[in-house]
């Protein structure tokens, strides 16, 4: 077990959950994609982001649909074998994923230790997880169900027999079939870990697909949450729910305990049910007000490629955390994994996105309690688009790690 309440302030810790993943990060290669499209006879008119993914062909159709739109997403696949076969066509890197794990890796880069709740483990996790991260796991044996990560650059071009696909923006796609994360077994030691926490990150329920099991896991979290110190921060990061109705179940159970509720631009648009022009202040203001009515929390944080904005009665206290989060995510974008505190500090002097800065100023005037930070405008030959939202969360929590140590 990891301590009891009442420990010295210096022993306060960040607890990150709830599940981690082993990721196969594809190295984008348009020539390989075109070859597969020819072999599988994929046509442009077939492209759709919402059809079931049951084989390599339907996986490719889905990928190309998102590339054509320049958007990101997370989708369920019928089996892990489909993902492993598809990955075998490309060069790829084996990395660790999951919001909690990537946030923990960012914190490690900044010299901040954390406690990571895991539901699966194998030799990849043991090899790649830094020693500064204390593992709290519910896994009883080793398993490997890789997540396929596809990041594509702006201008990626794929020639199909009936027309070309050209990506209007860089983005990332996640595909998975992960039984341990669908079951999301909560470790017995979680409540004890929370007793000494300065902050608790909740994420990962989006992969669950059994409603009764989801309710049981939410019961487990509800029993553990009272062990948190009264001044601890609870941060909930939304994600692409495989079963969208489950997001409402999670909100219904956890919303009273959440201090900060985070989401990215794709999830914002899912909630409001229509596209949002991220550089139009009136459009963004309407979307923020609409999603705030759905999710009434002390601080609702939306992070996008152009800006990050918090709305809600407690938003003002998180300005420093927003600045840290945007800076850290931009550092990952330009440097990739394993950056140094000095590299993160250097990002602060780089140019901010002018359109994002203007939008933030206008939204802060329109919404009384809005607090915003523009993103950085970076010209990077080979940017990292995977894990930027997770890095944002890590940068946000880094500020609360320091605050927790001062208490």
Length of the chain in residues, anyone? 407
Q: What are phi and psi of 80, to 5 degrees?
A: -65, -30
pLDDT on residue 7? 39
Of 203, 169, 142, which is closest to residue 392 (Cα–Cα)? 203
pLDDT tops 60 at residue 407: no
pLDDT tops 90 at residue 6: no
pLDDT on residue 12? 80
β-bridge mates for residue 214, sequence order: none
Q: What are phi and psi of 235, to 5 degrees?
A: -110, 125
Express each pLDDT in 57-82 by its tens digit: 999 999 999 999 999 888 999 999 99
Listing DSSP states for 327-394 in one string gives HHHHHHHHH-SS--HHHHHHHTTSPBPHHHHHHHHHHHHHSTT-EEEEPB----SS---TTHHHHHHH
Express each pLDDT in 263-283 by its tens digit: 999 899 999 999 999 999 999
pLDDT on residue 254? 96
pTM of this structure = 0.87
pLDDT confidence of 3, banded at 50, 70, 90?
Answer: very low
pLDDT on residue 5? 32
pLDDT tops 60 at residue 8: no
Helix (H, G, I), strand (E, B) or coil at 16: strand
Q: In Å, how far are 89, 345, 357 from 268, measured between CA atoms? A: 34, 29, 19
> What is the widest separation between alpha-carbon atoms in the chain?
67
Residue 325: CB atoms within 10 Å: 27
pLDDT confidence of 306, banded at 50, 70, 90?
Answer: very high
3-state secondary structure 305-333: CCEEEEECCCHHHHHHHHHHHHHHHHHHH
pLDDT on residue 370? 98
Express each pLDDT in 364-401 by its tens digit: 999 999 999 999 999 888 888 788 999 999 999 999 88
The C-alpha atoms of residue 304 and residue 255 are separated, in whole angstroms, by: 23
pLDDT confidence of 402, banded at 50, 70, 90?
Answer: low
DSSP E strands: which ranges in 221-271? 233-237, 260-264
pLDDT tops 70 at residue 146: yes
**Percent of the residues in the chain that have a pLDDT greater than 90, as a whole number:** 87
Domain annotation for the chain: domains and CATH numbers: 13-21+97-141+180-405 (3.40.1190.20), 23-95+145-177 (3.30.1110.20)
pLDDT on residue 11? 66
């Amino acid at each position: 077990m990891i301590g009891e309440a009442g420990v010295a302030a210096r022993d306060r810790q960040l607890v990150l959950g709830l599940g981690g993943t082993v990721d196969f990060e594809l190295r984008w290669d348009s020539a390989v994609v075109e070859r597969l499209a020819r072999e599988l006879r994929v046509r442009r008119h077939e492209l759709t982001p919402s059809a079931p993914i049951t084989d390599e062909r339907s996986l490719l159709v889905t990928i190309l649909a998102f590339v054509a739109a320049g958007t990101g997403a997370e989708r369920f696949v019928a089996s892990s074998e489909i993902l492993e076969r598809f990955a075998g066509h490309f060069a790829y890197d084996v990395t660790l994923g999951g919001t909690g794990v990537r946030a923990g890796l960012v914190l490690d880069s900044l010299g901040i230790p954390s406690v990571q709740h895991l539901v699966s483990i194998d030799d990849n996790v043991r090899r790649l997880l830094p020693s500064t991260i204390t593992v709290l796991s519910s896994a009883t044996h080793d398993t490997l169900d890789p997540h396929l990560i596809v990041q594509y650059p702006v201008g990626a071009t794929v020639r199909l027999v009936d027309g070309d696909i050209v990506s209007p923006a860089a983005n990332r796609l996640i595909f998975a079939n992960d039984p341990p994360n669908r079951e999301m077994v909560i470790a017995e030691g979680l409540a004890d870990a929370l007793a000494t926490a300065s902050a608790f990150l909740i994420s990962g329920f989006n992969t669950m697909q059994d409603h009764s099991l989801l309710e049981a896991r939410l019961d487990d979290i509800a029993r553990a949450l009272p062990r948190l110190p009264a001044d601890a921060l609870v941060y909930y990061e939304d994600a692409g729910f495989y079963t969208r109705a489950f997001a409402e179940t999670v909100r219904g159970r956890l919303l009273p305990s959440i201090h900060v509720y985070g989401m990215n631009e794709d999830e914002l648009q899912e909630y409001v049910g229509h596209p949002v022009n991220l550089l139009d202040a009136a459009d963004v203001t309407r979307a923020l007000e609409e999603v705030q009515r759905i999710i009434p929390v002390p601080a609702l944080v939306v992070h996008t490629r152009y800006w990050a904005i918090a709305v809600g009665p407690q938003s003002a206290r998180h300005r420093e955390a927003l600045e840290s989060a945007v800076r850290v995510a931009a550092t990952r974008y330009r440097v990739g994994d394993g950056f140094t505190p000095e590299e993160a500090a250097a990002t602060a002097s780089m140019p901010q996105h002018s359109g994002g800065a203007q939008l933030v100023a206008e939204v802060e005037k329109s919404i009384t309690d809005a607090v915003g930070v523009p993103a950085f405008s970076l010209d990077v030959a080979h940017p990292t688009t995977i894990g930027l939202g997770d890095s944002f969360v890590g940068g946000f929590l880094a500020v609360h790690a320091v605050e927790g140590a001062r208490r």
